[in-house]
């Protein structure tokens, strides 16, 4: 029993130490003024890699989730004769919750794992060390553009996810199940508040983007430089990011929408 408690204590201490290392790593990445001439092309390259190349999975997922919401929403609301409110339901669900959260989970699976594996492999093949020995700081050259790219791409992807989802909901609700189009858009327009709903959703996705990108680059940079180490780091990126997103979502929702 005592051993178990001691083991739990060790795990807690390890977690705090690891969190401290990650914080110091983040400070190292963010310190210093970025040089636009060299930093901007690197950022654009990473934005393409983590943002543009994630578009396909985001659009397809957004479309299907919107369509499923349309189907489920219509089934439930029609029992109360309120199927005209389907647009409102889909929009609020996507903009407030599913857009930021599902985008972050997909991002962690697609872009986050790729970032970790790429950085981990650069470490294992001594590319990061060779960069250091050439007088180039890998934190600035390799890590910072990837971190900023994740941070910038996430809200954009979440907005695209929500827009496509709303359009998918309309395809099912309006085009297939026959809800009046004016009701679909009108109720949505009347009930979705730009500041309370849209901006809060964007703030959530910015927070998720920051956390997911931070976890991904840190796990890659800190991994044991072997094939097993990279594999473990990639898994940790997906698991930690998913848990962090879901936990953070609860906290942010409580702060933004909880009427205590």
Summarize as ranges the residues that interact with another protein (CB under 8 A).
38, 125-127, 129-130, 132-137, 141
Cα–Cα distance for residue pair 202/194, rounded to 1 Å:
11
Cα–Cα distance for residue pair 203/33, rounded to 1 Å:
25
Provide, rounded to whole angstroms, the least separation between the CB of residue 28 and another protein: 9
Which lies closer to another protein via its Cβ, residue 129 or residue 235? Answer: 129
Torsion of CA 217, 218, 221, 223, to 10 degrees: -120
Which lies closer to another protein via its Cβ, residue 126 or residue 175? Answer: 126
Residue 90: name the closest of 193, 173, 178 by CA: 173
Provide, rounded to whole angstroms, the least separation between the CB of residue 196 and another protein: 44
Q: With helix as H, strand as E and coil as C, how does 34-64 read? A: CCHHHHHHHHHHHHHHHHHHHHHHHHHHHHH
Contact in structure between 213 and 49 (CB atoms under 8 Å): no
Which lies closer to another protein via its Cβ, residue 85 or residue 131? Answer: 131
Which lies closer to another protein via its Cβ, residue 24 or residue 64? Answer: 24
Residue 225: name the closest of 125, 99, 152 by CA: 125
Which lies closer to another protein via its Cβ, residue 126 or residue 193? Answer: 126
Provide, rounded to whole angstroms, the least separation between the CB of residue 126 and another protein: 4
Provide, rounded to whole angstroms, the least separation between the CB of residue 42 and another protein: 11
Provide, rounded to whole angstroms, the least separation between the CB of residue 32 and another protein: 9
């Amino acid at each position: 029993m005592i051993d178990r408690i001691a083991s739990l204590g060790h795990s807690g201490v390890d977690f705090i130490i690891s969190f401290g290392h990650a914080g110091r790593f983040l400070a190292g990445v963010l310190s210093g003024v970025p040089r636009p001439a060299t930093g901007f092309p690197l950022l654009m390259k990473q934005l393409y890699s983590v943002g543009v190349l994630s578009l396909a999975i985001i659009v397809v997922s957004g479309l299907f989730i919107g369509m499923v919401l349309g189907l489920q929403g219509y089934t439930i609301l029609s029992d109360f004769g309120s199927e005209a409110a389907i647009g409102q339901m889909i929009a609020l669900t996507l903009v407030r919750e599913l857009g930021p959260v599902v985008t972050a989970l997909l991002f962690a699976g697609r872009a986050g794992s790729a970032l970790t594996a790429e950085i981990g492999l650069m470490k294992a093949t001594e590319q990061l060390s060779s960069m250091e020995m050439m007088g180039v700081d890998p934190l600035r050259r390799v890590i910072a553009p990837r971190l900023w790219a994740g941070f910038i791409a996430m809200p954009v992807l979440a907005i695209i996810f929500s827009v496509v989802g709303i359009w998918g909901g309309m395809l099912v609700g309006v085009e297939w199940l026959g809800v009046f189009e004016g009701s679909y858009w009108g109720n949505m327009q009347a009930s979705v508040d730009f500041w309370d709903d849209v901006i809060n959703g964007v703030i959530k996705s910015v927070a998720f983007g920051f956390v997911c990108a931070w976890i991904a680059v840190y796990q890659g940079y800190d991994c044991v430089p072997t094939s097993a180490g990279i594999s473990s780091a990639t898994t940790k990126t997906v698991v930690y990011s998913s848990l962090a997103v879901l936990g953070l979502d609860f906290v942010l929702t409580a702060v933004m929408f909880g009427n205590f």
